[in-house]
Amino acid sequence: MVEASELLEAVVGEVDGVLLFAPTAAIYERFEDTGVDVVVVASEDDVDADTFVELPVEFQDLYDRVRFGIEGALDRDLLAEGDVVACVSSVFDEELDTISRVRVDADASSGVYDLFANARAEPDVLRSVLELVIELGKKGQKGQPVGALFVVGDAGKVMNKSRPLSYNPFEKSHVHVGDPIVKVMLKEFSRLDGAFVISDAGKIVSAYRYLEPSAEGVDIPKGLGTRHMAAGAVTRDTNATAIVLSESDGMVRAFKGGSLVLELDPEEY
């Protein structure tokens, strides 16, 4: 197999920029020396890149990774409409081994970058909730699949558009969703009905909430049920983000602004 680094000259000679996904320092320096604009897309800026887009989730699907990187670079004005970019990533192992050429289309934005970068909730909070839901999707509850709904951000308005289904165990607490012990509690509570409501800063405001926004006009993919409809409706009427674990197919889906913006299979993480 030809390594991506061996195709360097062919790559940079025909593109306006390069997106490097989690490169080593040596590979980054080699691309940087070509004079072509290089954007590093990774969970950490280990190579001290001049231009960097933080990758909040290690997307296993290459399309999701590339999509996030392009939307992040567009948002930060590192790319422009019509640019042709080389996306260099790894698929088969830890080395960069795959190159794709993509023409930037600003109108084709999926909203996946906006989900993390421009949400009311802090990015670390969204990441914590997403990691929790992915783990719950992998293990289920005592080996059985479960469904869950987390509404993150704009908690005051979400509470006004919902009602309690049961006693709120978090009413007088100040626990954070990122706390490992709290995650164990949330996994136990997730088997019961209702949504979790989490503040912008990660405080768990409530469990067991019935979301009441009207679903009229909410457009979700066919086959998705009431949890997904409620997620779409509450994010349309508030500035919250909703993350749903589907009990039927095990997929994790995120909604913002009334639309589905992210879909993940927990088994791939």
Whether 252 shows a pLDDT value over 70: the answer reads yes
- Please state at what angle helix 180-189 crosses helix 123-139, rounded to 10 degrees: 50
Distance between CA atoms of residues 31 and 40, nearest Å: 11
Residue 196 scores a pLDDT above 90: yes
Residue 193: other Cβ atoms inside 10 A: 12
User: What's the pLDDT tens digit per position in 16-73?
Assistant: 889 999 888 888 888 888 778 899 999 899 999 999 998 887 777 788 888 889 999 9
- φ/ψ of 205, rounded to 5, equals -85, -40
Q: Is the pLDDT of residue 6 over 60?
A: no
Task: Tell me which range, 3-7, 55-59, 257-261, is most confidently predicted by mean pLDDT.
Answer: 257-261
pLDDT value of position 139: 74
pLDDT single digits (tens) 154-165:
999 999 999 999
Measure CA of the first residue to CA of the last residue in the chain; give whole Å: 26
pLDDT tens-digit series, residues 86-114: 888 887 776 777 888 889 987 777 777 87
Q: Do the Cβ atoms of 154 and 120 come closer than 8 Å?
A: yes
Separation between Cα atoms, residue 68 and residue 57, nearest integer Å: 10
pLDDT, position 143: 64
Query: How buried is 137 (Cβ within 10 angstroms: 0-12 exposed, 13-18 middle, 19+ buried)?
Result: buried
Per cent of the chain over pLDDT 70 is: 92
Give the model's pLDDT for residue 195.
93
